[in-house]
Structure 1
Amino acid sequence: MSSSNIAAAEAQMLIRKPVSAVYKALTDPAITTKFWFTKSSGKLQEGKTVTWEWEMYGARAEVRVRELLQDRKISIAWGDPATIVDFEFMAVTEDSCYLKIRNYGFVESGDALLSVIKDSTGGFTLLIAGLKAYLEHGIQLNLVGDKYPEEVRKLNL
C-alpha cells in the first residue's frame, strides 16, 4: 500500500521566503528553536538520530532522519511507536515556498486514530504558522509554548 492511501495528518501553507531558507529553518536547530522545539542535540543529518526537547512541557523526542533531499524533502521517524513525518518543499516562485507536512504510519484505529490525526494536524499547523511568522516577519509567536501554558495546565483544563 502506498503512503498516499493510508491515514495521514497533513498541514500545508505558502511561506514567502525562498525554498532554501525554509529548508534550512527546519534542519538547523539554531533557527528551528525560534518557532518549534526549544532544544536539539544537533542539526539534521541523513541516517542520524537527534533529540528534540520542548522544555516547557518536559517532553523530548528521538528523531531518526530517514532522508534529506536538499531543498525538496525531509523525512523523519519519531514517536513510540514511530510514525513518519515528511516535509515537502515546492518553490512557487524564487521567493516563495509551499511547505507540506505529512505524518503517517499510525498504529491506532477508530476513534484513537482520529484523535492522533487531529492532534498531529493541529501541531504541524502551529509549526508552519510559527515558521511563517518567524521567517517572513522575524516574529516569535510562541505558538507551541502557548498551546498549553503552565497556568492553564495548573487549572487542569
Structure 2
Amino acid sequence: MELKESPIAEAGMLIRRPVADVFAAIVDPTITTKFWFTHSSGRLGAGKTVQWEWRMYGVSTTVEVSEIVPNEKIVMQWSEPPTTVVWTFTQMPGDTTFLEVSNFGFAGSGDQQVQQAIGSTGGFSLVLAGAKAWLEQGLMLGLIGDRHPKGLK
C-alpha cells in the first residue's frame, strides 16, 4: 500500500491544571512516572538525551529532545527507527491547559505506518488520560501497565 500522505498519530486532552503544572508533568520524571513510564535517566531539556523504561514490559527507549519552549512546546525523537513527537501546551481559561501530542515519521510499508500511527494514537490517549487523572485528582490509574497484562495473548 502506498500512502498519499504519511500518517500522524494525534491525541489531545483538557487538563484542569495551570500550564506550568502540565508542562512539568511531561519534563519531570518524578511526576511522569506516576502515569507513564516507570524509570528515566533524567529530566527533559533542550539538546538532552534521556532513557525511558517501562520495566513491567522490559522495554526502554532513547529520547532525544530537539526543542523546548517552556510551557508551550516540546519536540523530541524516540523509538527505533526514530519518530518525532511534538507536545503542545495551550493555556486555557480558568487555569486549565489543553495538551496535544502528535507523533509522525513512521517507517515501513504504508500498512505498517498506519498500524504504528494507530498504536501510537491509542498509547498517547492513555498517557493523556493518566496525566489528567494524576494532575487533577492525584489518582494513579495504572493505564499503561494494564494495557498489555501478562497472560493475555
Structure 1-normalised TM-score? 0.92
Residues of 2 paired with 1:7 and 1:149: CA distance? 28
Aligned counterpart, 1:31 = 31
One-letter code of the match for 2:138? Answer: G
Q: Percent identity?
A: 48
Kindly indicate whether the alpha-carbon contact (under 8 Å) linking 2:133 and 2:140 is maintained by their aligned counterparts in 1: yes
Residues of 1 paired with 2:107 and 2:148: CA distance? 26
One-letter code of the match for 1:50? Answer: V
Q: Cα offset for 1:111?
A: 1.4
Instruction: Please say if 1:53 is aligned against 2:53.
Output: yes
Aligned counterpart, 2:112 = 112
Structure 2 unaligned blocks of 5 or more? none
Q: Cα offset for 1:108?
A: 2.5
One-letter code of the match for 1:122? Answer: G
Higher fraction of helix: 1
Structure 1 unaligned blocks of 5 or more? none
Structure 2-normalised TM-score? 0.94
Any idea what the Cα deviations from partners look like across 1:136-156, whole Å, max 9, x if unmatched?
Answer: 00000000000011232xxxx
Residues of 1 paired with 2:94 and 2:84: CA distance? 29
Aligned counterpart, 1:143 = 143
Aligned counterpart, 2:17 = 17
Residues of 2 paired with 1:19 and 1:107: CA distance? 33
Q: Aligned residue pairs: how many?
A: 149
**Alignment RMSD:** 1.0
One-letter code of the match for 2:80? Answer: D
- After TM superposition, list the pairs within 5 Å mapping 1:65-144 onto structure 2: 65-144=65-144
Q: Cα offset for 1:17?
A: 0.4
Q: Cα offset for 1:94?
A: 4.5
Following TM superposition, the consecutive aligned residue runs of length 4 or more in structure 1 with deviations greater than 6 angstroms are: none
